[in-house]
Structure 1
Amino acid sequence: MDELAAARPLLLDVREPWEVQTASVTGAGYEVLALPMASIPARLRELDPERPVACLCHHGARSQRVAQFLDQQGFAHVANVAGGIDAWSLECDPAVPRY
């Protein structure tokens, strides 16, 4: 991983591919990685446990479970985006479609 990517927090989108196609977020200052929740255990080695990670789903329930799993796996800096992409659309970026 290059130093620039390592310095930026990771927004881990754990929704299903069809959900990511329906509504997604972009932004400066963080990298977005879409990995469906069910694939996280098998792909855990792709994630840096020292990099800050914020987990995102539709309403915040799946991402909360992933955040707890990552915490249990020893990830140092994990957060959940409360309310998910639905709250993101309402509070941060109304251009993000709601579904």
Structure 2
Amino acid sequence: GFDVIVETGAGTRSRIPDEEFAKTGAVIGKDSDVAKADVVLKVRRPTDAELKSYKAGAAVIAIMDPYGNDAAVAALARAGVTAFSMEFMPRITRA
């Protein structure tokens, strides 16, 4: 099994209150909870400060904007995380 921890206020800009996440079984957590996460899902790539709080070996899935951002890509590598850039995920729709 697994636990889903959603950062407090994660859905605010999308007008999704924390209570909606909690209703589906997610735990509303603190920023510090990311330190124990095996998988981190984000909208945008993590900042250098965020990367410092991730554990080595964590999978980070986000829009990474890697082109022309060599320093950011290098920071991901130095942090020891496995980065999945959503821009490179194939979009397959079968009707």
TM-score (norm 1): 0.36
Higher helix share: 1
- Which structure has the greater CA radius of gyration? 2
Higher strand share: 2
The answer to which structure, 1 or 2, has the higher relative contact order (CA under 8 A, 6+ apart) is: 1
